Amino acid sequence: MEAGMRVVDGSMLEGGGQILRNASALAALTGWPLRVDAIRAKRSRPGLQPQHLTGLRLVEGVCGGQLAGGEVGSCSITLRPGPGSPRCGRYSADTRTAGSCTLMVQAAMPVCVFAEPPPPADNANAVVGPSGRPCCHLELRGGTDADMAPPAGYLTDVLAPLLKRLYGDLMSDLDVKVVRRGFYPKGQGVLEATLPALPPGARLPPISLTDRGKITQVTIHAFSAGRLPPHVAQRMAAAAEAALRRGLRRVGAAAGGVTVPIAVEAVVEPPERAFGDGCGILLFADTDTGCRLGASAKGERGVPAEEVGERAAAELLDALESGACVDQWMQDQLVVWMALGSGTSRVAMSPPSLHTRTAMVVAEALLPGVRFRLRRPGAAGDEAAEAVGGSEGEEGVKKGGGSGAAGGGGKGKKGKGGKGGGGGGREEGYGQESPYEGGVWLVECDGAGWTVGRRGGEAAGPGGEA
C-alpha cells in the first residue's frame, strides 16, 4: 500500500453511499490518497450507481485529483487528491439519471468551503460572492426530489439557513437554488449552489445546538408539476396542516401553550421550472432558540395526496416530540461540520441512527484529533460519555501500509445490477433504527479546527491551531 493511503471498508456499519461521500470529501481536504472497497455492499444493488460516480467526479475536480475505478458498478475506487488544496471555481456535474443532486452537494460542500482561490492564470474560472470572497459555483443536474434523499427544498430552506445562522458572516455568501425540478426516472433537474470559501486562517466555530426552545412557527411548502392538476398540491398542504394542528396540541407546552402559526404555500410549478410529472411537500418548524427542523414527503403514483401530506406531518411531529434540536436528516449532515470545526461542538439529537454513527466513525478515522462522544443531557464526567468509534472504526479504516480494510470484498468487481443506468435517485439507508435508547442524546465532538490550505500531515496544536 502506498504511503499515507487510507483504506475504508464500504461495508462497515450502514454500508451505503454516505461512507463514500464523506470519505472522499475528507480525503480531498487532507490530501491523503483514499481507497474504498466493498462499496455499498449492504445495498440491494451494490457498487457505484450514477449518482455516486458523479459525486466522486465532482470532488475529484474540485481537489484536482485522480480517480481510479470510476465506473458504474465498481465496488472499489481509489481517489488521489491533487498536490495542492482544493480550488474555488465553476464546476458542473450531471448524473444523466434521477440521481440525487442534494447528495452531490453533501459530498462537495465541505471541500468547497476549505478551497483556495484559483491561480491568476485561471481568472476566467473565478467566482466571487457579494462579500468579495472567493466561492465555488456548482451546477448540478439530476433528481431534485428523489427517493431516500433530502429534497432540494431541504437544502434551500433548512440546511442553508441553519449553516448561515451557525456560521454568520463566514457563510453569508452561501446560496442554493432550484432552477428546475427533476423527478424519477428521468431526472433532468438543475440545482445551483454558491459555496463560499473561508478566509485564510479562519476556522469554523464549534456548533452549539443544545436547547430546542419553543416552537414559534411551522411552514408548509407543497408543489405539483407537469400534468398533475393544481389541486394535488392544495390537498397535500391541507392534509399536512390539519395533521399538524392536531399533533401540535400534544407538544403545546413546547410552544408555550399558544397556537403555533402555520404558514401554507401550495404552488404549481410552471413548465420551465420542472421536467416531467411530480409533486412533493416540505415542512419546517422554527424555534425561539434558532433551531429549524424539517420533514418532507414525495408524491407517488397511486398514493392519495392527503396521505403524502400526513406522512410529512407525522415525520415533523416525531422530530418535535423528541425534544431534539435537529431532525433525522440534519443529524448526520452536521457530523462533518462538527468534525471540521474548532473546539468542542455539542448537538442535542434523537438517538443517533446507524447512518449518523457511520458518519462519526469515518470522520474520526480520517481527521486527526477528532473524537465524538454521546451522553445524556445533564450527565457529567467522562464516565458518563460513550465513545462512538471503537473497534468498528479501527477495523473499518486502515492507514498507510496496512493490509486493507476489514471485510472489504468485491474489489474492482461489478455489483449486481450495477450495469446500466440504474440507481435513479433511490439511495437506501436513511430511516434505520438507532442502536441507542430513546430520548434525547447530547453528541459532543472535539473538532479538527481545519483551515484553508491545511493538509493531513500537519498536526493541530492547542486549540486546534495548526
Mean pLDDT value of segment 44-49? 91
337 pLDDT higher than 60: yes
Q: Each residue of 166-209: pLDDT tens digit? A: 999 999 999 999 999 999 989 999 999 999 999 999 999 999 99
- Model pTM? 0.88
Q: Each residue of 246-304: pLDDT tens digit? A: 999 877 645 555 689 999 999 999 999 999 999 999 999 999 999 999 999 999 999 99
CATH number corresponding to 6-209+326-464: 3.65.10.20
pLDDT at residue number 439: 81
State the CATH architecture for 215-322. Answer: 2-Layer Sandwich (3.30)
pLDDT at residue number 384: 53
Nearest Cα residue to 195 out of 245, 142, 159: 159
Do strands 34-37 and 66-68 pair parallel, antiparallel, or not at all (unpaired)?
unpaired
Mean pLDDT value of segment 96-125? 91
Nearest Cα residue to 195 out of 133, 255, 240: 133
pLDDT at residue number 257: 52
385 pLDDT higher than 80: no
351 in helix, strand or coil? Answer: coil
Q: Mean pLDDT of all residues in the chain?
A: 86
Mean pLDDT value of segment 124-147? 94
Where residue 133 falls (left for φ over 0; alpha for ψ -120 to 50; beta otherwise) is beta
pLDDT at residue number 291: 96
> In the chain, pLDDT over 90 holds for what percent of residues?
73
Q: Each residue of 137-165: pLDDT tens digit? A: 999 999 999 888 899 999 999 999 999 99
More confident residue, 69 or 414: 69
1 pLDDT higher than 90: no
Q: Each residue of 18-42: pLDDT tens digit? A: 999 999 999 999 999 999 999 998 8
CB atoms within 10 A of CB 403: 8
Cα 27 to Cα 401: distance, rounded to the nearest angstrom: 17
pLDDT at residue number 462: 35
94 pLDDT higher than 90: yes
For residue 345, the number of C-alpha atoms closer than 13 Å in the C-beta half-sphere is: 29
Is the Cα torsion angle 22, 26, 28, 32 positive or negative in sign?
A: negative
Q: Given pLDDT bands bounded at 50, 70 and 90, which one contains residue 423?
A: very low
- 350 neighbors 331 (Cβ within 8 angstroms): yes
CATH topology agreement for domains 6-209+326-464 and 215-322 = no
Which backbone phi and psi does 202 adopt, to 5 degrees?
-75, 150
Active site residue ranges: 355
pLDDT at residue number 382: 53
Within 8 A by CB and 6+ apart from 168, the residues are none
Question: In the chain, where are the structural domains located?
Answer: 6-209+326-464, 215-322
Cα 373 to Cα 364: distance, rounded to the nearest angstrom: 11
pLDDT at residue number 254: 54
Residue 459: burial class (beta carbons within 10 Å; 0-12, 13-18, 19+): exposed
- 297 neighbors 315 (Cβ within 8 angstroms): yes
CB atoms within 10 A of CB 265: 12
CB atoms within 10 A of CB 356: 28
Cα 379 to Cα 373: distance, rounded to the nearest angstrom: 12
